[in-house]
Amino acid sequence: MALIVGLGNPGSDYKSTRHNVGFEVIDNLAEKLSISFDPDNGLYQKGEGRFKGQSVVLIKPTTFMNRSGKAITKALAETGFDKSECLVCYDDINLEPGQIRLRPGGSAGGHNGISDIIEKLQTKSFPRLRVGIGKEFSRGKQAEYVLDPFTAEQREEIDKSIDLASDAILTFLRGGIDIAMNEFN
């Protein structure tokens, strides 16, 4: 059993921006698993399905990125999953476009969405999948950068990493975080 969460910002203004790559990973995974999403329940969209005989729940918070913890807390309470079964996918400026990294836990690394999740869950111990978006921005321009769409050149790399990230999630579902880390990091 697993709860897979992709972070992003709701609304068409943010679609295909760097900060919404977590949503894109979840959409790619939903397509691979033939999972469709229910309408927004106030805090997130949810899709349910099965993979290799186990229950899989996909979540896309409808809160803004910096308030993701509230949505994840509610999703965990409603689904009954443990925090250790909740894999969170999100963008990371410290990785180049095309790179992904899995970790069993850790700090927020400056990511406000992850900071909010850590605060609301009161733990740093939940698996994460970081998708690189690069950091080609001037000092003080990070917020603008993450809310901009990818360049055409980056888009090609990002599409590959999104597909790779969803494959890493399938490996996580089959064998757990350690096996997925060994294969994809």
Question: Please, are residues 8 and 22 in contact by the beta-carbon 8 Å criterion?
Answer: yes
Q: Tokens 């609301």 map to which residue?
A: 120
As a whole number of Å, the CA-based R_g of the chain is: 15
Q: Which domain holds residue 169?
A: 2-184
pLDDT at 101: 97
Q: Please indicate, yes or no, whether the overall pTM of this predicted structure exceeds 0.85.
A: yes
Handedness of CA 178, 30, 86, 126 (dihedral sign): positive
Residue 185 assigned as binding residue:
no
Q: Tokens 């096996």 map to which residue?
A: 179
pLDDT at 1: 77
Residue 66 assigned as binding residue:
yes
pLDDT at 111: 94
pLDDT at 42: 84
Q: Tokens 């009161």 map to which residue?
A: 122
pLDDT at 178: 96
Please report which confidence band the pLDDT of residue 136 belongs to, taking 50, 70 and 90 as the band edges. Answer: confident
CATH value at residue 70: 3.40.50.1470
Whether 41 has a pLDDT exceeding 80, the answer reads: no
Residue among 80, 164, 79, 113 nearest 6 (CA): 113
pLDDT tens digits, 43-89 = 999 999 999 999 999 999 999 999 999 999 999 999 999 998 999 99
Whether 116 has a pLDDT exceeding 80, the answer reads: yes
Q: In the predicted model, what is the mean pLDDT of residues 15-30?
A: 96
Q: Please return the burial class of 84, using the count of CB atoms within 10 Å of its CB with bins 0-12, 13-18 and 19+.
A: middle
Start-to-end C-alpha separation, the chain: 23
Q: In the predicted model, what is the mean pLDDT of residues 6-27?
A: 95
Q: Of residues 19, 60, 111, 130, which has the active-site annotation?
A: 19
Total tally of structural domains belonging to the chain: 1
Q: In the predicted model, what is the mean pLDDT of residues 92-110?
A: 93
3-state secondary structure the chain: CEEEEECCCCCHHHCCEHHHHHHHHHHHHHHHCCCCECCCCCCEEEEEEEECCEEEEEEEECCCHHHHHHHHHHHHHHHCCCHHHEEEEEEECCCCCCCEEEECCCCCCCCHHHHHHHHHHCCCCCCEEEEECCCCCCCCCHHHHHCCECCHHHHHHHHHHHHHHHHHHHHHHHHCHHHHHHHHC
pLDDT tens digits, 142-185 = 999 999 999 888 899 999 999 999 999 999 999 999 999 999 99
Q: Please give the structure tokens belonging to residue 57.
A: 């729940």
Q: Tokens 């977590």 map to which residue?
A: 22
pLDDT at 153: 86
Please say if 111 is a catalytic residue: no
Whether 40 has a pLDDT exceeding 80, the answer reads: no
Residue 112 assigned as binding residue:
yes
